[in-house]
Structure 1
């Protein structure tokens, strides 16, 4: 273990635990200005105070001596509704992202995982031209050889292209899905407390950001950027040609409830997509929207039997570890964090029962081998 205190680790730990400098100071017997100076390299805490920080923040002492990597700049993160995002929640998201990257690096060093293959739009087109979201989604489907068929498992498709997907179901429940690139590696965080249909849409939405809003085509946060990602997600999950071929005549409520299963999307998303493609009239769209809202489809997907998509990558990692009598504790020791921190990053994404869970699902397969 290094003997050099890493100030960034203190801020990272405090953000993950969602404690202010004042909170930490009060619990550890120091002052908020002192904590701030320690985080800004102006003062170095004694070994005794570091141990106290570790106790209060529930991190191993070794965590505060571990070298830290730099994250992408702030504008490389794609957050939803940034105008309403609390600063402390954004700080938590960035700090947890750092931990997720360290977990990703551990996986890469231990297993042979798929290489990153999610292009940015300028690489997809081999130019700096801009494409509307509809055409961008079609271009990516073409590059990946997907045609216009429905995508059975979007999460596992993205993992096969080298995307790392983590859960925001622990300390980040107040934050919606977000994404960024760490070098060439796309990273997506999901708020798993949603229906399976809406999680798929969130994945496609973040894919839209990763493809359209990086590099030389960077777009400032705002409603226009979010709408573009929504339009991309809609077109990627429900290709124009497939929708036009599948919907014959006018839509009724019963038709929406049947057809939404084809593309594994929410009823509301399908209604909007059909309207924007000109398949149904404004009156039919409005009528269906009211009927769906009255039936509870604005808040969820009543009666849906669609299972939440699981992570092949994380499931295979945990399955392999368990086959050797290991688990979250061993990963946590390697990263100098708590086992619960690793569990939180996988919450809702691993397909077998974790400690304390009552669900036992089938094992998933993945292109993953031990190095």
Structure 2
């Protein structure tokens, strides 16, 4: 039996509309609709083309669906400039459904450490809901940011991505086009995700993206993003931006370092602070200006110089700071496949997937998983040569 639901899911997973898929297969859009709703079954030649296009085995379309709907369109936090891209959100929920399902399969083989991000979220909501009139919105956000930095044990922004992964957040890279920087969401199963977009971004701008999305995860849990007006959406985006600024640039330490700057309106005066905090020059000045450390005239001169020197897009020192890529899922799969807790070949065959399907899904390089292609002798692994990152289930 051909399952049209699975065709629809892999189509959405690959970001294709019915019309786009129809063009690739040289059939009508109506035909794709009929396949997905199981009014007709594709011919062998068409099914074979779908198999190659989506990196699955032919049997994939003839076995029952296995993913669950664990993510919602209204829970995905896009940036304000990405509002027009919200039509892509349904396809992103399909992506998250696949990711979450496979992660559950892998993690069921291990005893994982307790996640701390949920507790931090609850603490953040409590602070935000404080009735103390002395705490205005800005001071509440700063308190939340200070608490988050402390609880996540952020000693340096250079290790931010690692600390967020350690807290229980799943961070992945995905090609979402040039207009989308990142997005975040909590799934129905309480899994927090941050999905990073354009890999060409500098390390310092990626740090701000991570902090911004952390702000959404902590501050905007359960908010229906689709129901927000334009002004309401701008407000929560400002909250996430302000949180990121407070979080990456803690007040007391920032004030001490900023006092050493000789010319506050000169972008090049911020180079040392950029290397220390791993934050863009623009974000550093923004934090200082909001703390009234620069006059309005100094602020205008700063941005005029920033534009004149082309620093808005490409800042000095960007090339000197390495981009840190997500490693949690790589470590998870390495532990499972190298220790033969699960065979990659068996896993792919069970779900009728090609290796490339899994590599694309998790944002790995081409042929990354070939290192696990040949089953290894289970007896090779002893207590002396396995690093105990997690506890194995008995």
Q: Same fold (TM over 0.5)?
A: yes
- Which of 210, 213, 218 is 1:211 aligned to? 218
TM-score w.r.t. length of structure 2: 0.76
Q: Output aligned runs, 1:119-268, within 5 Å.
A: 119=118, 121-126=121-126, 129=129, 132=138, 133-144=141-152, 146=154, 149-169=155-175, 172=177, 174-182=179-187, 183-191=189-197, 192-215=199-222, 220=228, 222-248=233-259, 250=262, 251=264, 252-268=266-282
Larger radius of gyration: 2
Shift of 1:258: 0.8
Q: Give the root-mean-square deviation of aligned CA atoms.
A: 3.6
- Determine helix, strand or coil for the equivalent of 1:179: strand
Cα displacement (A) at 1:241? 1.9
1:307 equivalent among 316, 322, 328: 322
Whether the 8 Å contact between 1:6 and 1:67 is mirrored in structure 2 is no
Matched residue of 2:185: which SS?
A: strand
Distance 2:16 2:158 in 1: 41
After TM superposition, the structure 1 = structure 2 runs for residues 14-25 of structure 1, keeping only pairs within 5 Å, are: 14-25=11-22
Deviation for aligned residue 1:278: 1.5
Indicate if the aligned counterparts of 2:127 and 2:143 stay in contact, CA closer than 8 A: no
Task: Go from structure 1 to structure 2 and tell me whether the alpha carbon gap of 1:54 and 1:241 turns closer, same or farther (over 3 Å shift).
Answer: same
Tell me, in whole angstroms, the C-alpha distance in 2 between the residues paired with 1:140 and 1:335.
Answer: 39
Higher helix share: 2
Corresponding residue for residue 340 of structure 1: 356
Q: Is the counterpart of residue 68 in structure 1 residue 67 in structure 2?
A: yes
The answer as to whether partners of 2:125 and 2:218 remain within 8 angstroms in 1 is no
Q: 1:235 to 1:73 in 2, by over 3 A?
A: same
Partner of 1:361: none
- Deviation of residue 299 (structure 1)? 0.8
Structure 2 CA distance for partners of 1:293 and 1:27, relative to 1, 3 Å: closer
Question: What is aligned with 1:278?
Answer: 292
CA drift at 1:181: 1.2
Distance in 2 separating the partners of 1:275 and 1:75: 34
- Structure 1 residue aligned with 2:100: 101
Using a 3 Å threshold, how does the CA distance of structure 1 residues 337 and 355 change in structure 2: closer, same or farther? closer
Deviation per CA, 1:171-196, whole angstroms, max 9, x where unpaired?
A: 65553201111222211110122111
User: How far apart are residue 145 of structure 1 and its match?
Assistant: 5.1
| Structure 1 residues 254 and 317, CA gap change in structure 2 (3 angstroms) | same
Counterparts of 2:223 and 2:93, CA distance in 1 = 23
Residues in 1 aligned to 2:310 and 2:348: alpha-carbon distance in whole angstroms: 41
- Return closer, same or farther for 1:243/1:62 CA change in 2, 3 Å cut-off: farther
Contact 1:196 1:307 in 2 (8 A): yes
